Amino acid sequence: MSIKIAVFSAKPYDREFLASALNAKKQENNGDGMPFDLVFHDFALGLDSVALARGATAVCVFVNDVLNAAVLEALYAEGVRAVLLRCAGFNHVDLVKAETLGFFVANVPSYSPEAVAEFSVALLQTLNRRTHRAYNRVREGNFALDGLLGITLHGKTVGVVGTGRIGLAAARIFKGYGCRILAYDPYKSDDFLVENLGAYEDDLDTLLPQCDFVSLHCPLTKGTHHIINEHTLAKMKPGAMLVNTSRGGLISTKPVIAALKSRHLGGVALDVYEGEGGLFYNDHSGDIIEDDELMRLMTFPNVILCGHQAFFTVEALTEIANVTLQNFADFLLSRPCPNSLVRSHKLFIRRDSYPVRI
Q: Where do contacts with ligand NAD occur on this chain (CB under 6 A)?
A: 88-89, 110, 113, 116, 161-167, 184-187, 217-220, 223-224, 245-247, 271-272, 308, 310-311
Using alpha carbons, select from 303, 309, 311, 308 the residue that is nearest to residue 132: 303
The number of beta carbons lying within 10 Å of the beta carbon of residue 267 is: 21
Of the candidates 86, 247, 274, 319, the residue annotated as catalytic is 247
- Whether 247 is a known active-site residue: answer yes
* Strands, sheet with 82-85, edge to edge from the N-terminal-most edge strand: 36-40, 3-7, 58-61, 82-85, 104-106
Q: Which of residues 164 and 198 has its CB atom nearest to ligand NAD in the complex?
A: 164
Give 236 or 356: the residue with its C-beta nearer to ligand NAD: 236
CA distance linking residue 100 with residue 243, whole number of Å: 37
* SS3 at position 59: strand
Query: What's the closest the beta carbon of residue 218 comes to ligand NAD, in angstroms?
Result: 3
Question: How many C-beta atoms lie closer than 10 Å to residue 140's C-beta?
Answer: 7
For ligand NAD, the nearest residue by Cβ is 164
Residue 301 Cβ, how far from ligand NAD at the closest point, in Å? 23
- Nearest Cα residue to 312 out of 37, 12, 80, 22: 12
Burial 32-66 (b: 16+ CB within 10 A, else e): eebebebbbbeebbbeebbebbeebbbbbbbbbbb
Residue 199's DSSP bridge partners are: 182
Residue 129 CA: distances (Å) to CA of 115, 118, 165, 273, 305: 21, 16, 27, 22, 15
User: Any catalytic annotation for residue 81?
Assistant: no
Min CB(169)–ligand NAD separation in Å: 8
CB of 40 to ligand NAD, least distance (A): 21
- From 86, 130, 276, 319, active-site residue: 276
Nearer to ligand NAD, 49 or 245 (CB): 245
Q: Name the region of 42 (left: φ>0; alpha: ψ -120 to 50; beta: rest).
A: alpha
Please state, in angstroms and rounded to a whole number, the distance separating the CA atoms of residues 82 and 25: 20
Minimal distance in Å, beta carbon 282 to ligand NAD? 16
Q: How many CA atoms lie within 13 A of 289 on its CB side?
A: 19
CB of 349 to ligand NAD, least distance (A): 32
Nearer to ligand NAD, 101 or 171 (CB): 171
> Can you tell me whether residue 16 is helix, strand or coil?
helix
- Give 247's contacts (C-beta < 8 A, 6+ positions apart): 89, 91, 219, 220, 272
Q: Which residues of 204-228 are buried (b: 16+ CB within 10 A; e: fewer)?
A: beebbebbbbbbbbbbbeeebebbb
Compute the least distance from the CB of residue 227 to ligand NAD, in Å. 6
As annotated, the active-site residues are 247, 276
